[in-house]
Structure 1
């Protein structure tokens, strides 16, 4: 059963080579398909990605929801696996996802922990990802979903230029699609905290979640998030490139 790994990128030269190198040398490489969907990187992301095996898609729309949908359209796998460029996967991910899928879980994710966290408080964030609450979830934990199920719920809603991960999780829940939190942890970068304090990030996340729950226009949530955080993370990781004309 083929797993299509879809990686949306924008200015990810620091991380993309490590992830693609890992995937290209994975012992179960024949069981995976690698798809990178770039949203208009201005650094070396494209040239680095081009050095590795896999499909490279370029789009002028820098928005994760759009990029991941574009990757899904070209995916050949039975299972779609959405992964951020700065994520370190669990070595057993192919087997883990296959077992979960065979046991009836058509969607799911991993727990997460930060890679080399500078602030011990970051361990708190990772700890809570073991619990079955949607506010503990997020795209950093990676997301696997049966391709047929993904298509049946119309994929990612592209109006969500931020919070697209929570929207699809809400729809997975609304459609009563079995969801599995695999009890292992992927590792994610703590770069968001390089230029922002722990409390600043948490309060920003809390306000953004409240805005999402109250039905605030995603572009307004995105604007708030961008204005609230400082540093290179804001410029690159939040996909501040071109959006669809109506956004």
Structure 2
């Protein structure tokens, strides 16, 4: 059983080249089937940079993280799908960790989180990712799942703009075992520093509360844009 790494992208020219090089260095090549870039019609250099790195690039017909990941998953040839964001760097030996978890009976899982900034609040958030709780589950922790389990759960819900990974994990847990690997993925704190550490975290928490209260995704998107001044 081998791993297909799937990276949904949109305007990621700043990150994608560095991430692909990192993945190639750190991956166990005997376990890595492919790296797939699932692009949402970026008009920057994302696709060019990825293509130059020799990875598989898919131009997805529908933009949106859930739709892009589903599109790539349907075309992946690996028996295990590993979804990561373009600003997420998995730990050294991540392929071995994923295979070991699957062989141990887990059909899906993620890693703990680490941020490249020593602010106490960010570090506290990262500390909590050792617990298997919806309240401290972050999409940046990445997600691996067997292709069979992914199909059984019908993939990501493409109606969701937010928390599509959390919603899928909930369905996975009702149908199989989920593992939090004790190693860490590393993400950039750039977005936190640009938007404001507390402000952005409050926005994320609000999205979670609105999701739990079953607000529409459009309402959630409007609220997120107002809080973070996003386009």
* TM bracket (short chain): over 0.9
Shift of 1:18: 0.7
Matches within 5 A, 1:40-59: 40-59=41-60
The gaps in structure 2 that reach 5 residues or longer are: none
Counterpart of 1:221 in structure 2 is: 220
1:163/1:218 contact within 8 Å kept? no
Counterpart of 2:70 in structure 1 is: 69
Shift of 1:30: 3.6
Give the aligned CA root-mean-square deviation in angstroms: 1.4
2:28/2:93 contact within 8 Å kept? no
Residue 84 of structure 1 aligns to a residue whose secondary structure is coil
Counterpart of 1:144 in structure 2 is: 144
Provide the C-alpha distance between the structure 2 equivalents of 1:76 and 1:47, rounded to a whole number of angstroms: 23
Provide the C-alpha distance between the structure 2 equivalents of 1:215 and 1:54, rounded to a whole number of angstroms: 38
Residue 56 of structure 1 aligns to a residue whose secondary structure is strand
Q: Deviation per CA, 1:103-135, whole angstroms, max 9, x where unpaired?
A: 0000000001102x1633210111000112122
Shift of 1:214: 1.2
- TM-score (norm: length of structure 2): 0.95
1:81/1:145 contact within 8 Å kept? yes
Counterpart of 2:104 in structure 1 is: 103
Q: Deviation per CA, 1:196-222, whole angstroms, max 9, x where unpaired?
A: 222211221121111101111122212
Matched, 1:163 2:163: yes
Query: How many residues in Structure 1 have an aligned counterpart in Structure 2?
Result: 230
Provide the C-alpha distance between the structure 2 equivalents of 1:51 and 1:217, rounded to a whole number of angstroms: 40
